[in-house]
Amino acid sequence: MLPEGCREGAALLLVYPHNSEPHVLLTVRRHDLPDHPGQVSLPGGAVEAGETVEEAALREAAEEIGADPFHIRILGRMTPIHIPVSNFNLYPVVAITADRHPWRRQDREVARILEVPLGLFRDPGTLQAEERKLAGASRQVPFFHVEGEKIWGATAMVLSEFLWMLGER
């Protein structure tokens, strides 16, 4: 059962070819945002009234990175994840596009766009762990270290599940 007031969210895990290798697109959130400031995330946000999870994921990707929904093919949903700090129940949506597009970041939310080759996640040095204080307790938290950024939390969980589905982890 989800906590009271929990909102539905959608995120797009977009896979596309670049330099003959599959890539995933991630964003680095601006440091002055109220939710998840400075963190690496998938394009996504709240599901609006009357919208499906897939429609929300495509809309958010169009808003945040300039993705063209007409050139994206939805493959399906992954396991939903509850994110306590923002009280979202996040529905990751996997999609593909045949071409790398000229991504355009939305300055209000996105500080940087990361285009990460899937093969990079196979590198044993990419998966690391560090101690973090969560809910008042110190815990070892795994993260992917990519392009100088730490990918952790819900984004790391979504990527881990996706890599597992591909047989990469």
Question: In this predicted structure, what is the pLDDT of residue 82?
Answer: 92
Q: What is the mean pLDDT of residues 76-82?
A: 96
Burial class from Cβ neighbours inside 10 Å (0-12, 13-18, 19+) for residue 24 reads buried
pTM: 0.91
Q: What is the pLDDT of residues 105-120, one digit of tens each?
A: 888 889 999 999 999 9
> In this predicted model, what pLDDT tens digit does every residue of 137-149 receive, in sequence order?
888 889 999 999 9
- 2-27: average pLDDT: 92
**DSSP per-residue letters across 81-120:** EEETTTTEEEEEEEEE-SS-------TTTEEEEEEEEGGG
Indicate the pLDDT class of residue 122, thresholds 50, 70 and 90. confident
DSSP string, 40-61: EE-SEEEPPTT--HHHHHHHHH
